Structure 1
Amino acid sequence: MEAWPTVARVLLLTTIADWLKAAQSRDFTMKDIILLHPSTTPHPGAFKCFTCQDAADNYECNRWAPDVYCPKGAKYCYTQHTMAKNGDSVSVTKRCVTMEDCLFAGCVMSNSYQVCSSCCEGNICNLLVPRNDSSAVFSSASPLASSSRRLHPAVLSFIISFFIAGNV
């Protein structure tokens, strides 16, 4: 009977170690997101979008998005979110696009999946994924920078970590 407390301790310590490892990964990602403004840009008006192809969900997309500037002709950030009937993410695709790629924003049913797409204008404005017709829009303002006031870095860090952690 004395083995059970030992097994319970090992399981608890394993869970805590996994949680700490995940927390460290999120901190690393958070630092990358906050440091998206280097001192030089490749061309005037250059900006960045989260970019990924067929990621499992929004967290995986934003976590592994390369930190590169959009090409000169691209003016918008595009997001396509495919969901199962229960609302779970099937895939997320994000990229830099031109206006032609933003002509359709909204949701459609396709092969028993709901596919929502949106476009936005602004640096890393495609943090969130569209989940329904009210969020699948073409927006000329970033959801994080739509007010004229600047966010304190600690507040911005909290907002980004909240959405990246999958609470969207």
Structure 2
Amino acid sequence: MEAWPTVARVLLLTTVADWLKASQSRDFTMKDIILLHPSTTPHPGAFKCFTCQDAADNYECNRWAPDVYCPKGARYCYTRHTMAKNGDSVSVTKRCVTMDECLFTGCVTSSGYQVCSSCCEGNICNVLVPRNESSAVFSSTSPLVSSSRRLQPAALSFLLSVFTAGSV
């Protein structure tokens, strides 16, 4: 019975020695390196989002999310979280989207459920789910407007409300 561990060690050492001898006699090329690392990005600036459709909760979504890159046109990660009246998750949907699909973030109540959606920019930035208005936002790491100093209508109305509230 004691011979088996010795035989296993000999076989292992022989295999390692053969592998080392073969690797020393061969120069690796760029093609070999690419084959060793098949996770190269499909296009410049490529990123990943957690992706699921109607998962039971955030844990199930993130746990089974496929590890794939977003399509070239998609720049954001979208999350829709549906909750029951008591705050328990009913469903979670996450995917890669374009900016057009990120324009309506926030929370709404419908048929006794609260549905919150959010968008973010960045590699797997949609780890968490939105649960209320403060987390149901559109967060971007890059400027959404050109370099002109013109205020957007939403920013203008926000500033107007701040000044009006401050003067009352």
Q: Shift of residue 40 of structure 1?
A: 1.1
Partners of 1:112 and 1:131 lie apart in 2 by 15
How many residues are matched?
105
Give 4+ residue runs of structure 1 displaced > 4 Å after superposition: none
Alignment of 1:53-92 (within 5 A): 53-92=53-92
Q: TM-score, structure 2 length as denominator?
A: 0.61
Query: Gaps spanning 5+ residues in structure 2: where?
Result: 1-36, 142-168
Alignment of 1:43-122 (within 5 A): 43-122=43-122
Partners of 1:101 and 1:108 lie apart in 2 by 16
Partners of 2:95 and 2:38 lie apart in 1 by 20
Q: TM-score, structure 1 length as denominator?
A: 0.61
RMSD of aligned Cα (Å):
1.3
Partners of 1:74 and 1:40 lie apart in 2 by 18
Task: Supply the AA of the counterpart residue of 2:65.
Answer: A
Task: Supply the AA of the counterpart residue of 1:129.
Answer: V
Counting aligned pairs with the same residue, the percent is 90
Task: Deviation per CA, 1:55-108: give whole Å up to 9, x if none.
Answer: 000000000000000000000000000000000000000000000100011000
Partners of 1:38 and 1:136 lie apart in 2 by 35
Partners of 1:38 and 1:50 lie apart in 2 by 20
SS at 2:59 equivalent = helix
Partners of 1:139 and 1:49 lie apart in 2 by 14
Query: Gaps spanning 5+ residues in structure 1: where?
Result: 1-36, 142-168
Task: Deviation per CA, 1:7-63: give whole Å up to 9, x if none.
Answer: xxxxxxxxxxxxxxxxxxxxxxxxxxxxxx975100000000000000000000000
Higher RCO (CA-CA < 8 Å; seq separation 6+): 1
Bigger-Rg structure (1/2)? 2
Tell me the equivalent position of 2:134. Answer: 134
